[in-house]
């Protein structure tokens, strides 16, 4: 009868390494970054797009300077992103932070570099 102790240990080690590599990949990918909208400044930023994902009505009531508006609720939200270069960092905000967090997750999965501006336009207005 052959002793398979070494084969079992070798197999266990390989599985451990695979699990470690997968864990690192999963935690490093698919996570958009975030900062508070009250800490955000456009000064010195290059190659970025400021994206407001609120409704057109909310946008027309006020928005951050240089923002473009693509309504998160539009059925063709993703199609409207085609003119935004993926090389640009996207700074995304909404009214309070819920929609922009969802949009940031989607945009990240599509290959965009995304920073979610937490707190939304309401927090920005409150700071003014």
Q: In which region does residue 89 sit, left (phi positive, over 0), alpha (psi from -120 to 50) or beta (all else)?
A: beta
Cα dihedral value 107, 113, 119, 122, nearest 10: -80
In angstroms, the CA 123 to CA 109 distance is 27
DSSP 33-50: EEEEGGG---TT--SEEE
Catalytic-role residue among 94, 103, 104, 115: 94
Strand, coil or helix: what is 61?
A: coil
Residue 29 annotated as catalytic: no
Q: In Å, how far from its chain's centre is CA 51?
A: 12
Active-site positions read 94
């Amino acid at each position: 009868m052959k002793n398979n102790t070494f084969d079992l240990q070798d197999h266990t080690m390989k599985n451990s390494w695979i699990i470690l590599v997968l864990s690192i990949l999963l935690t490093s990918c698919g996570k958009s970054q975030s900062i508070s909208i009250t800490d955000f400044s456009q000064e010195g930023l290059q190659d970025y797009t400021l994206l407001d994902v609120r409704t057109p009505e909310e946008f027309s009531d006020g928005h951050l300077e240089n923002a473009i508006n693509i309504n998160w609720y539009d059925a063709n939200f993703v199609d409207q992103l085609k003119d935004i270069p993926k090389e640009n960092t996207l700074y995304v905000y909404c009214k309070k932070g819920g929609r922009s967090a969802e949009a940031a997750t989607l945009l990240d999965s599509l290959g965009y570099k995304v920073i979610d501006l937490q707190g939304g336009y309401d927090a920005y207005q409150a700071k003014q």
